[in-house]
Structure 1
Amino acid sequence: MDSLPHTKLVVIVAFPNLPLLEVAGPGDVFFHASKAIFEKTGVEDTYHVIVIAADGTDQILTRSGITIATPVKIDDINQPIDTMLIAGYNFENSMIESSDFYNWLADISAKVRRIGSICVGTFALAKAGLLSGKNVTTHWDKAARLHRDFPDVHVDSSQFFIKDGNIYTSGGVSSATDLSLALVEEDYGREIAVTVARHLVLYLKRPGYQYQFGDLLPVNEYEQGVLSKIQEWMVTNLHRDLSVEQLAAHSNMSPRNFARVFLKETGLTPAKFVEKLRVEMARKLLVESDLSIEQIAEKTGLVSMVSMRRIFLRNLMVTPSHYRRAFKTTLNEVELT
């Protein structure tokens, strides 16, 4: 495969059954960046994007049922790869057990200017040994697993994307466009990146953090544990005093023993769990009800609008009003014809 000398070659290595947006998002960003650069400078083909199948096949079937042709193989490329992105890592795919792919990935990473991952593609980079000691992100729902499987990797699931040296990792699927815009800005400056973002109706830097999308509460693995016995009662009594003493009394336990068992089962102190439970219920009401923020604060035990704002910022890094604007349905505000 030949290309013009000035062209930055972007290679997306795609696993089977990946979300289409992980390929389409970066593809559109780099295409429109090339167009914007041509209109400004007259230089053509600034970026060239190709998709390569991680399993070496001629096509990739995406999760949505749309097939992406992948006729080009890595051996067909005879020019330097500027940027490589790993997309659609599949936990159930048998190829992830083969060391050949990860050996290849580790080898080629030394030959590209920068390498990155989209969503859970971070796991592929980690398995190739490229993330030891690195600061990275991934989809919020898989962050705990990444930390468990690769304890020498520093995982921050709050960010949409993170750069550490020439390693770039991104969060959920839509973060592929956040990362791609950042790469364009790094290459050609803010003006070009803003032009692309405006054309695609995107934020150049999306407000907020991944925290606003994730679940705050840990998965309860103890069906007969202390939490299972009192969680429903806690939900219906969020407006009341839920101190350790009150929770322990409801569980017929001493406060000291209750706190010890609760921390062991959930990984959180009772006070921290109650706070997160209140935030979870408040965010549900922000989206699903028309109650005012003051009413929601009172109903969930967050006391006041000021207190609720402070606790939301601590847990979600967004304010209650911002969260409501971002996630509340707009169907009743749009005239359907």
Structure 2
Amino acid sequence: MNASEHSKLVVIVAFPNLPLLEIAGPGDVFFQASKMVYEKTGVESAYKVIVVAADRSDQVVTRSGIVISTPIKRDDIQQPIDTLIIAGYNFENPVIETSDFYQWVSETYSKVRRIGSICVGTFALARAGLLNNKNVTTHWEKASRLNREYPDVHVDSSQLFIKDGNIYTSGGVSSATDISLALVEEDYGREIAVSVARHLVLYLKRPGYQSQFGDLLPEPENTTFSKIQEWMIANLDKDLSVEQLALHSNMSPRNFARVFLKETSLTPAKFVEKLRVEMARKLLEESDLNMEQIATKTGLVSLVSMRRVFLRNLMITPSDYKRMFRTSRSEVEFA
């Protein structure tokens, strides 16, 4: 059999000003997977990757200024597309907005085996009408906007990537490699995917149940609740019951709880818990306090309690979080 009978064509559609990793990450994963498949089975060119510009230009200038050549236009592709991946998104791009791009995405979806998006590329799939009643993810900073603009889409911004049918969506920029490894595993099995991850020094499955680490709390728009949040932060180790919060806000407990839920979409108790976790992880990242001190200072009381609420909110333990996000001063060399 010749290579063309085995080659899976992966087309990455790149928006202008996207992070380079959204192209380079999948490109390296699929290249390495092809190499591993050949070594194991003798099949050549398991994947063929083409990058095309969303605006049909001859090049894509990435956010870092590195230019990617895109001589092939999406309409010039003759080989059937196996996997279409949308990388990046411009919320205001008159060239793309006035073109037939989203119609092309919708029509192409009906012909491909699967389609995916990286980071805010989820918006392009939504704009093309592919995500109604689908479970998806996107970068945590844009999740509320995706919810607001496409209310029929079910958004879970805690996940690095989500598969719903033959649609894959992913979170932050680095999740480009996570979703690509998942596609390789789907095509050629765990052994090949593990070999690719090991060679590229990546996690096949990241710790923390593949969770994004975004802000847990919404920004309160009500100035009254902005002030009460400031007071909460200064008094995390104190009693922050509904009764105390209502008293400090000159409201009845029942009315405070009702209005607070309406303004923040969280109950006061859940808001306090998430606020304590936010402050605890900030201290884990930046301070020299030990775990017990952080638990006490943030009102999480004990290591057992802090571990429980971290797992509930971040799906990772405090000790694992600290190892992932804090660099010890002793490990840093100063010139």
Aligned to 1:214: 214
How far has the Cα of 1:141 moved from its partner? Answer: 1.5
Q: Which amino acid aligns with 2:266?
A: L
Q: Give TM-score, length-normalised by structure 2.
A: 0.95
Query: Taking structure 1 as reference, are residues 75 and 96 closer, same or farther at Cα in structure 2, changes over 3 Å only?
Result: closer
- 1: CA distance, partners of 2:71 / 2:105: 19
Segments of structure 2 that go 5 or more residues without pairing to the other structure are: none
- 2: CA distance, partners of 1:212 / 1:122: 15
Aligned to 2:104: 104
Aligned to 2:205: 205
- 1: CA distance, partners of 2:212 / 2:290: 19
- 1: CA distance, partners of 2:227 / 2:43: 66
- 2: CA distance, partners of 1:259 / 1:60: 50
What aligned pairs does 1:239-278 form with structure 2 within 5 A after superposition? 239-278=237-276
How far has the Cα of 1:200 moved from its partner? Answer: 0.5
Q: Do 1:158 and 1:209's aligned partners in 2 also have CA atoms closer than 8 Å?
A: no
Q: Do 1:212 and 1:317's aligned partners in 2 also have CA atoms closer than 8 Å?
A: no
Q: Do 1:157 and 1:210's aligned partners in 2 also have CA atoms closer than 8 Å?
A: no
Aligned to 2:168: 168
Q: Which amino acid aligns with 1:249?
A: L
- 1: CA distance, partners of 2:235 / 2:123: 40
How far has the Cα of 1:152 moved from its partner? Answer: 1.4
Q: Give TM-score, length-normalised by structure 1.
A: 0.94
Q: Do 1:212 and 1:318's aligned partners in 2 also have CA atoms closer than 8 Å?
A: no
Secondary structure in 2 matching 1:146: helix
Aligned to 2:86: 86
Most deviating of 193-202 and 132-141: 132-141
Match of 2:279 among 278, 281, 284: 281
Aligned to 1:9: 9
Aligned to 2:135: 135
Deviations 1:147-175 (A, max 9, x none): 22112112122211111111111111111
Q: Do 2:133 and 2:152's aligned partners in 1 also have CA atoms closer than 8 Å?
A: yes
Aligned-pair identity in percent equals: 78
Match of 1:312 among 310, 313, 319: 310
- 1: CA distance, partners of 2:191 / 2:20: 28
Segments of structure 1 that go 5 or more residues without pairing to the other structure are: none
Aligned to 1:227: 225
Q: Do 1:13 and 1:85's aligned partners in 2 also have CA atoms closer than 8 Å?
A: yes
Aligned to 1:301: 299
- 2: CA distance, partners of 1:8 / 1:110: 17
Secondary structure in 1 matching 2:122: helix
Secondary structure in 2 matching 1:4: helix
- Aligned pair count reads 333
Match of 1:321 among 292, 301, 319: 319
Q: Do 1:33 and 1:193's aligned partners in 2 also have CA atoms closer than 8 Å?
A: yes
How far has the Cα of 1:99 moved from its partner? Answer: 6.0
Q: Do 1:140 and 1:210's aligned partners in 2 also have CA atoms closer than 8 Å?
A: no
Secondary structure in 1 matching 2:237: coil
- 2: CA distance, partners of 1:268 / 1:96: 38
How far has the Cα of 1:36 moved from its partner? Answer: 1.0
Q: Do 2:22 and 2:88's aligned partners in 1 also have CA atoms closer than 8 Å?
A: yes
How far has the Cα of 1:97 moved from its partner? Answer: 3.0
Q: Which amino acid aligns with 1:170?
A: S
- 2: CA distance, partners of 1:244 / 1:221: 19
Secondary structure in 1 matching 2:250: coil
How far has the Cα of 1:331 moved from its partner? Answer: 4.8
How far has the Cα of 1:212 moved from its partner? Answer: 5.0
- 2: CA distance, partners of 1:244 / 1:302: 17
How far has the Cα of 1:336 moved from its partner? Answer: 6.1
Deviations 1:291-335 (A, max 9, x none): 121111111101111111111111111111111111112452255
Most deviating of 238-247 and 205-214: 205-214
Query: Taking structure 1 as reference, are residues 237 and 211 closer, same or farther at Cα in structure 2, changes over 3 Å only?
Result: farther
Q: Which amino acid aligns with 1:87?
A: A
Query: Taking structure 1 as reference, are residues 245 and 150 closer, same or farther at Cα in structure 2, changes over 3 Å only?
Result: same
- Does residue 157 of the first structure (1) align with residue 177 of the second (2)? no
Deviations 1:223-247 (A, max 9, x none): xx22122222211111010111111
Two-structure CA RMSD over aligned residues (Å): 1.6
